[in-house]
Structure 1
Amino acid sequence: MDIEKMMKAAQEAADNIQKQMGEAQAKLDSIEVEGVSGGGLVKVRATAKGRIIAVSIDESLLVPSEKQMVEDLVAAAFNDARTKADTVSNAEMSKMSAGLPLPAGFKLPF
């Protein structure tokens, strides 16, 4: 195989990977996860890509004296959602890259 054919094949492979990455990123934005804290009193819905969709705070927490606790619970729910989003994202990216001829230890996205 001459160098020109090898370069063309490499470019086609790169284009294919880029297309698959775009499709995977779009899919991640359509998968939803829910972060929860305070035994379900605070919930955060997010996409697997990390976009926040909604925040729900039980009305029993909406008293001025509980402000600090509510803030802590919201932060915990966000972190829970982020962890779940990362887990789903990593699983989806692993599925996408499973069929690609990548060197050992090579991680996507680039």
Structure 2
Amino acid sequence: MRDLMGMMGKVKEMQEKMASMQEEVEKLELEGTSGGGMVTVRLNGKGIMLGLSVDPSLINSDEVEILEDLIVAAHNDAKGKVEAAVQEKTQELTAGLPIPPGMKLPF
């Protein structure tokens, strides 16, 4: 019975840590760039775009497709950084817990 109580306490502690981690993730702001820094996208930890910066030299009606591609590339760069940061925080949180390999957190 003691083991069950101890496990329940660990579950509660884990829930509190997860809630704290989710708050931290929401506060993250990461930038992705493309075109040698000519396009910058800023995302929060949930992947919501907070800002976009485009070098004025890229604004040319004849090269719209290039600009669009650079924006997508910068967004993908920022999104990758957000995912890496979330994964790192999750690993810190779950260190030492017997979680099966490949199980993704947060759920």
Which TM-score tier does this pair reach, normalised by the shorter chain? 0.7 to 0.9
Q: How does 1:81-92 map to 2 (within 5 A)?
A: 81-92=78-89
Q: Which runs of 4+ in 1 moved over 4 A?
A: none
Q: How does 1:36-55 map to 2 (within 5 A)?
A: 36-55=33-52
State yes or no: 1:78 paired with 2:91.
Answer: no
Q: Structure 1, residues 54-89: CA drift from partner, whole Å, max 9, x if none?
A: 111111111211111111000000000011111111
Aligned match for 1:20, one of 17, 22, 33: 17
Larger radius of gyration: 1
CA contact (8 A) 1:34 1:44 kept: yes
Report the counterpart of residue 109 of structure 1 in structure 2. Answer: 106
The RMSD of aligned alpha carbons is 1.8
Secondary structure of the equivalent of 2:67?
helix
What is the aligned-residue identity percentage?
33
How many residue pairs match? The answer is: 106
Q: What TM-score, normalized by structure 1, do the two folds share?
A: 0.83
Aligned match for 1:59, one of 25, 50, 56: 56
Unaligned runs of 5+ in 1: none
Unaligned runs of 5+ in 2: none
